[in-house]
Every structure is written in structure tokens, then in C-alpha cells.
Amino acid sequence: MRLIRFLILLLLPVFLIAQNEPVIEVGCFNIEWFPCKEDGQMMQKYGINLRNPPRGNPTDVPALFQLLKELDIELLGVVEIVDTDLFARKAKEYLGPQYEFVYAPSKSSQKVGFLYDSSVLELKEAPQVYMDVALNPDSWLRPALRGYFKYKPAGFDFHAIIVHLKAAPSGWKIRKKQWQALEKIITDLKENSGDKDIILMGDFNNVSRLGYKEFIPRIDKWNFYWATHELLEDSLVTNYWQPDYTKQYIQGSLIDQIFISDDAKFEMVPNSIKVGGVCAEGRKSYEGPHLPEFYEKISDHCPVFVSFKADVDND
């Protein structure tokens, strides 16, 4: 099965070029505490005072944006952005002046937002911040952010929603309430927006004993396609975590997800889900004194993205 999928992914770009069909890639990326990463002293300069501050290095900004340049993703939902101004400036510096960044203001030190290529995609209306996902206006949880994008000059238009739900196994009680808030958002969009093409993505932190069952009942109810399930079928992961901070050992999991409404699945290019960075190597774990450079320099998560036919809009 994995060999077949590999051959499909290998041949797919050639097929699309041969057919001269424009495509866009849409994805999400948890960029660990950008630009602090594991630099506890830098975090304190941003007013972040963790109980046990890390003692590692900050984000390798050139390495991060070189990766994004190589991936060339037209719309990237990002989370854990601490310095939004720096992120926006560096995006233009490294990727080009056409790259725009919008984010959801909140009390959280970690912001969620969208980085997009404005020469390819138009943001049709002001982004909407959903504080309901943060559960109350004064919460330190992250809100969700929605953008309504359209391929230029005419083509696929869709709602993109980026989220970063509460972390930790014990956070399931909170995540359950956040999923309830998301259900209201999805229902409202389907019934009242006039466009049922919806892409829901981000870091869902499905790390309780329920695992994927945290969200499967809801996405089934909404008739959404769990696109990142294809990564699971290929034994790929989207992030690495350290079970024991006294040991040089990290193991992979799949908590960064992309869900696609049944309407938007018409525009999705089949078998096009990909994961970048160190996760693309397909290893379940790493150990020893030298962990992967990506993990050390950029993030403990990897970008996940999927392709859509850009000049098609079936709704």
C-alpha cells in the first residue's frame, strides 16, 4: 500500500503539469514558540515566564524560511507565533513582498494566523477571530481564526480555519469544550455563509487515551474528510515529543490535522497530503546525543499540507 501511494505521489506532479492544471497547497505548521523556540531568556524578554524555562536555542530564522521557500505553500496556517511583527517582516524578506500575514489578537503569548501568497490568493473579507474556542474573552487559550480566500483571478474559494487546542492528556476536558465551540462555527458556516468549502486545520493535541476518537465522531457528523489520515496509513508522524526530559530520546505522533468538508473535497487533489521537514523521513523516533537539526533549529512539529485544484470551484 505504501509503495503504491509513493508511486502515485511521485507521478502526480508530472500528471498535473502535463494537464496544465494550476494547483494551490494549503497547510498548517506549529512553529514552536517562534522566535524563542527553547530559549528561556528570550521568552522572558517577551514577558513569558514559564515555571521551568527551557535552556536551549532560539529559532534558526534563516533555516525556517529557507524551508518555507522550498515548500512554496500558498496558504499556511501557523500557530505558536510569539513575535507576529518579526514573523511578518521575515516572511517578506525571505519569501517575497507578496507574502502577507494575518493573525488573531488574544491574551495568549502564542498567536495563530495565516501566511499567504497574495499574488495567488485573495483574502476576500476581514479575518474572523473566534474567541469561543478560547472559551472566554479573558482566557490564555488560543482563539481560532478564519479567513475566506479565493484563487486569483477566478477559481477555488474557501474558508480556512486555523486552531491550536489545549495541550496535554489532562487537557481533554477543555478540548472537548473547544470542539463543541468548533461545531457551532462549522454549522453556522455551512448554513449561513453561502460557501460550504471549509478547511479546518492546526494542532489539535489529540493526546488523551481517546487519541483520534477525540475528533472522529464530530468530523463524521459534519461529513468532513480526515485528510491527515492518509499520513497515518503511511506510518508518518507530524511532530516529535520527549517522553522523558532527562533522556536524549524523541518519538513521533500525529496531532497536526487537516479536515476538509465534503464540498471542498471535490477540489482536493487525490493522494496529495504531504508532511515536510524531518517528519518526511518517516522515522518513528530518534535517540542519542545528536537529535535531528530540524528538531533542534526549527520546531518540534512539521508542516502538513494538501493540494487543491485552483481553477475549479464546484459550489
Q: What is the pLDDT of residues 233-243, one digit of tens each?
A: 999 999 999 99
Give mean pLDDT, residues 284-310. Answer: 96
Q: What is the pLDDT of residues 247-285, one digit of tens each?
A: 999 999 999 999 999 999 999 999 999 999 999 999 999
Q: What is the pLDDT of residues 169-217, one digit of tens each?
A: 999 999 999 999 999 999 999 999 999 999 999 999 999 999 999 999 9
How far apart CA 246 and CA 38 sit, in angstroms, is 16
Four-CA torsion 13, 274, 38, 110, nearest 10 degrees:
100
Q: What is the DSSP string of 139-195?
A: -SSPPEEEEEEEESSSS-EEEEEEEEPPPSGGGHHHHHHHHHHHHHHHHHHHHHSS-
Is pLDDT larger for residue 10 or for residue 103? 103
pLDDT at residue 18, rounded to an integer:
41
What are the cell numbers at 177?
469544550
